[in-house]
Amino acid sequence: MSIVIDIFWNFPLYYVAGVLSSMIEGLYETIGKTIRDQRKQKKLTQEVLSGLSGIARTHLTMIENGTIHANIETIWKIAQALGVQPSALFAQVELDLADAQMMSDPSASAHAASEK
């Protein structure tokens, strides 16, 4: 019985932790996708971008796939190698996250459209 009470009592905490966890995972996947899109837009291979940024190609691959979480220093190096400001890279990540949220939640896109 105490487990049921614990789960019921702490449900908001469990729910928030789960939502935050999925948001963070979505963030890293979106960072990777944004880096990959920028790299392809500039017609760079992973080998070239990894060389310019000073990281291993396999590391870059895992970042682009969202399987590992790049720290801010690595993202900074990648942005510099892409010839973009890190702030511009993060601005694009923010836009991509908003687009992904609107695609996954139709009510969010209806709400956003009504605000315009």
Q: Kindly state whether residue 88 falls inside one of the protein's structural domains.
A: yes
**pLDDT-based confidence at residue 4 (cuts at 50, 70, 90):** very low
Q: Kindly state whether residue 13 falls inside one of the protein's structural domains.
A: no
Q: Kindly state whether residue 33 falls inside one of the protein's structural domains.
A: yes
How many domains are there within the chain?
A: 1
| 99-116 tens-digit pLDDT | 877 777 666 545 455 544
Q: Kindly state whether residue 19 falls inside one of the protein's structural domains.
A: no
| 36-45 tens-digit pLDDT | 999 999 999 9
Residue 101 confidence (pLDDT):
75
The token pair at 21 is 């966890």
Query: pLDDT at residue 31 above 80?
Result: yes
Q: Kindly state whether residue 79 falls inside one of the protein's structural domains.
A: yes
Domain extent for 30: 26-115
Residue 20 confidence (pLDDT):
52
Q: Is 48 within 8 Å of 57 (Cβ atoms)? A: no
Q: Kindly state whether residue 10 falls inside one of the protein's structural domains.
A: no
Residue 24 confidence (pLDDT):
64
CATH number at residue 73: 1.10.260.40
Task: State how far the Cα of 64 lies from the Cα of 3, in Å rounded to an integer.
Answer: 40
Q: Kindly state whether residue 58 falls inside one of the protein's structural domains.
A: yes
Question: 10 Å Cβ neighbour count for 83?
Answer: 11
Task: State how far the Cα of 48 lies from the Cα of 105, in Å rounded to an integer.
Answer: 37
- Smallest Cα–Cα separation from 91: which of 70, 77, 75, 104? 75
Listed range (15-19, 38-42, 46-50, 52-56) with the worst mean pLDDT = 15-19
| 6-21 tens-digit pLDDT | 444 555 554 445 555 5
Q: Kindly state whether residue 104 falls inside one of the protein's structural domains.
A: yes
